[in-house]
Amino acid sequence: MAMTIVMASILALAILCTVIGNLFVIAAILLERHLRAVGNYLVFSLAVADLMVACLVMPLGAVYVVSGQWSLGPDLCDVWTIVDVLCCTASILHLLAIAMDRFWAVTNVDYIHNRNSRRIGTMIFIIWAVAMVVSLAPVLGWKDPDFLKRIEVDRICLLSQDIAYQMFATCSTFYVPLALILILYWRIFQVARKRIRRKPGNKVVLALRKASGSTRSLTVPSTTTVNEMTTNFSSEVSTSATASGTSDKIDSMLLPNHNNKKQQQRPHHQQQRESIEAKRERKAAKTLAIITGLFVICWLPFFIVALLMPLCESCRENIPLLVLNIFQWLGYINSGINPIIYTIFSPDFRTAFKKMLLGKRAINISNINNTKAKSPVRV
């Protein structure tokens, strides 16, 4: 009884934290005008998907875990698994879309100008359409013959264990998106490292000058980054044009100071600059490791087991239900981590959260931060 109470309390806390975190993100984007930029549409849709996981999937999952068996019948099992696959697939595919959006933003100077609500809306539509296809396939007939027996006799509610379906579902939901996310973030890191190490007068600076329409000087406000990337990483990769007026702006840390050339030629200054570059590279690597590492830790165990169970019947019978529940809830916890990873490190989101929590007391703090952020750097 004590273990049941402890387990129920832990699961309830996980659900509550996931709901609160994603509600904060949704409220911040709806209430703060400067957060309603096109780049935040993906973050908003991701928060909606994760909120659906917390409200529609996790409560029934908690009842299933605490009771130790499925006693709600085959129809509700069908509904639960459909919603589970739909929301979790949408959440994972949003992470891929955000990675793609960031990659295009740091590799194409004109992308920020060409990115509009129709383009991002199309990406969101494709995400939910793919998730819908994957989730509804078992109901449309892609089930294994033991589905009803597992529910009525063994009291276990599992997604269809048909081998072909599991291959299709796991690849389209996780393995292919994971491979693409790793490739995209590795390319982003390479671009960041090159731009951190770049010398004055290279093509990036010339491209920035061309985008600004000036060949003499470029005034760059030091604020947040492409698509609300985390602050540490944003300082290394953001090179978008400055005419957008949204949160997609260039951090002045990226831009080398062309003044005082004599001082730049001193050995001490060169060593200091190399040290700063090394620190920036470490920050970029650390941030990308957090983004991809937490995603892999949360979902990889579940999808390994999900692919192994239909391929190995003895494995399916010998894997304890507790292990399956732990791996499944690790994936659910990713929906509670996403609001932290993709928003909390952004100064704009932090200020919005402070305003919602502290009210007027946060306004002075916000004004001070904005004053510091808008100090121009001339190149």
Question: pLDDT tens digit string along 264-291?
Answer: 454 555 556 556 656 665 666 677 778 8
**pLDDT of the residue at 270:** 58
**pLDDT of the residue at 358:** 83
**pLDDT of the residue at 310:** 83
Paired strand residues for 378: 219
CA separation for the pair 182, 179 (Å, rounded): 5
Q: Which residue has the tokens 């004053």?
A: 371
**pLDDT of the residue at 323:** 86
Distant-in-sequence, close-in-space partners of 245: CB < 8 Å, separation ≥ 6: none
Phi and psi at residue 308, to the nearest 5°: -75, -35
What is the rounded average pLDDT for all residues in the chain?
76
CA separation for the pair 65, 59 (Å, rounded): 10
Domains in the chain with CATH codes: 2-193+279-378 (1.20.1070.10)
Which segments of 259-349 are extended strands (E)? none
Residue among 172, 37, 22, 169 at smallest CA distance from 93? 172
Residues 151/74, Cβ–Cβ less than 8 Å: yes
Residues 346/230, Cβ–Cβ less than 8 Å: yes
Paired strand residues for 220: 377
pLDDT category of residue 256 using cuts at 50, 70 and 90? very low
CA separation for the pair 48, 100 (Å, rounded): 19
CA separation for the pair 42, 347 (Å, rounded): 18
State pTM to two decimals: 0.75
**Long-range Cβ pairs for the range 22-30 (8 Å, 24+):** 22/47, 22/48, 22/50, 22/51, 22/54, 22/335, 22/336, 22/338, 22/339, 23/51, 24/339, 24/353, 24/356, 25/339, 25/343, 25/349, 26/51, 27/356, 28/343, 28/349, 28/352, 28/353, 28/356
Over residues 220-230, the mean pLDDT reads 37
Residue among 96, 91, 99, 46 at smallest CA distance from 227? 99
Helix, strand or coil for residue 118? helix
pLDDT at 374 over 50: no
Residue among 109, 104, 274 at smallest CA distance from 203? 109
pLDDT at 201 over 70: no
CA separation for the pair 16, 102 (Å, rounded): 30
